[in-house]
Amino acid sequence: MSAPMPFWRAAGMTYITYSNICANLVRNCLKEPHKAEALNREKVHFAISTWKDGKAEKPVIRSDLAED
């Protein structure tokens, strides 16, 4: 694609990835109580299950919360 495009798209990045990187960088530059709140707000915990031949395989859990 030779149309004029932002440097991040030329490098293969999508807009959502770019936007999330920008947001993370801004969050990391905040003053203390706000920084901890912001990083805490963005923590995620979810399970991904792939299905094969009509049967669910073991789900993979991705989490930013501390493992207890």
Partner 1 sequence: MFRHAAKLLRRPVPTTSPAAAAVSRRPFSSDLPAAETADPAFVEAWKKLIPNIDPPKTPLSFMQPRPATPASIPTKLTVNFVLPYASELSAKEVDMVIVPATTGQLGVLPGHVPTIAELRPGLMSVHDGNDVTKYFVSSGFAFIHANSFADIIAVEAVPIDRIDANLVQKGLAEFTQKVNSASTDLEKAEAQIGVDVHSALNSALTG
**Residues engaged in binding partner 1 (CB under 8 A):** 7-8, 10-13, 18-23, 25-32, 34-35, 38, 41
Task: Measure CA of the first residue to CA of the last residue in the chain; give whole Å.
Answer: 48
**In the complex, what is the shortest distance from the CB of residue 56 to partner 1, in angstroms, rounded to a whole number?**
30
Cβ atoms 27, 35 nearer than 8 A: yes
Q: How far apart are CA 49 and CA 57, in angstroms?
A: 6
**In the complex, what is the shortest distance from the CB of residue 45 to partner 1, in angstroms, rounded to a whole number?**
16
**In the complex, what is the shortest distance from the CB of residue 4 to partner 1, in angstroms, rounded to a whole number?**
12
